[in-house]
Structures are given as C-alpha cells and as structure tokens.
Amino acid sequence: MSSSAASATVTTGWELDTKGGAERIKEAGLPVLNMEGATEHFHAHLDVFVDGKPVAVPADIGFSFSSTGQPNGISALHTHDESGIVHIEAPVAGDTYTLGQLLTEWGVLDGTGKPGTAHSGTSDWSVAVNGAKQDGPAQSVVMKTHDEVVLFYGTAPEPLPTAFKFPAGL
C-alpha cells in the first residue's frame, strides 16, 4: 500500500485465496513457471480504492501452492508482499502484462458480486496511470516499468496517487 493510503482499509472479500492459484494463473492466459523469469524484469505499482478507502493488495498473487501450502509455481506477473509492487519477471521479452491478468490471478473483480465489491465486474471501476485517467476497460491497462496504477470505485482517492517511490534496485 502506498504512503497515501488512509488508515481505514477495506479488506472483506479482497483477501487472496491461495487455493486455485495455478488455475487462476492459467485463466489469466499465463503459464505456471518453476521459477521467476530473468529475460524481462520490471516493476509497476498498484493502489486499489473503494470510495476513497484503500484496499490492501495481498502478497503471493500469481503463485500456486501445494496442498500443504508450500509455493510450487509462479507466474511472470506476481506480488511478493503487501506493498502493491507488481513484479514482472518473464522468461521471454516483449510480452505485455495487463491489470486484468493480475486481477484474474488475484481472483477479484470477476463479475459475480454487486457493484463496488471485491467480486463486482470492472465496468463501474475507474483506472488512472501515473495520474492520468484512462479510457477503455480497466482490465486492458498494460503494466509498464514504474507505472503507478490506481484502480478505484466511487469516490477517487484524494489526492490521487501519481507516482510511487520504488525501493532502490527496483
């Protein structure tokens, strides 16, 4: 979560269900890898807000887990912690990775719930990249190096995050 996040965080329904991780990776159109790719390596940042309140982006999006809870696979598009940093570590260069793929791996905004909830569809959501509101579907936003992607429902966060200070080396 970015430093712009308010103290009250929306959590219900946004938690990552580690069961079915491999299936969600495949549903996102990505392969389950044995290790992080090294050919292409960059990072973006995601903030999610519902009516101005931050939603924690969980660790381990884009991982598959064994029945004993041990990681046993990874997608080129994943998170390691709750910082909102999205890692793109791919085995081939030139592929694009979208917000929709990350949301599919997370298992949220799948169109099965009411508007503004973790399982609503994306049609009522807005997205900004580096402070600029995007036209078109939120799920089609392509993640690029050091982008600050803000996905929000209802009231926009104030102020709208326009950049993220990545740790040294990222």
| pLDDT, tens digit (0-9, with 9 covering 90-100), for 45-59 | 999 999 999 999 999
71 inside domain: yes
**Per-residue pLDDT at 26 exceeds 50:** yes
**pLDDT for 10:** 63
142 inside domain: yes
Average pLDDT of the chain to the nearest whole number: 92
Q: Is the distance from CB of 52 to CB of 154 less than 8 angstroms?
A: yes
Encode pLDDT of 89-144 as tens digits. Answer: 999 999 999 999 999 999 999 999 999 999 999 999 999 999 999 999 999 999 99
Q: Is 105 helix (H, G, I), strand (E, B) or coil?
A: helix
pTM for the complete prediction?
0.92
81 inside domain: yes
Question: Where does residue 56 rank: exposed (0-12), middle (13-18), buried (19+ CB within 10 A)?
Answer: middle
Dihedral sign for Cα 118, 120, 124, 125, please. Answer: positive
88 inside domain: yes
pLDDT band for position 11 (cuts 50, 70, 90): low
**pLDDT for 2:** 38
**pLDDT for 7:** 45
164 inside domain: no
**pLDDT for 130:** 98
Domain holding 113, by residue range, is: 21-153
**pLDDT for 9:** 64
Please count the structural domains in the chain. 1
**Per-residue pLDDT at 81 exceeds 60:** yes
162 inside domain: no
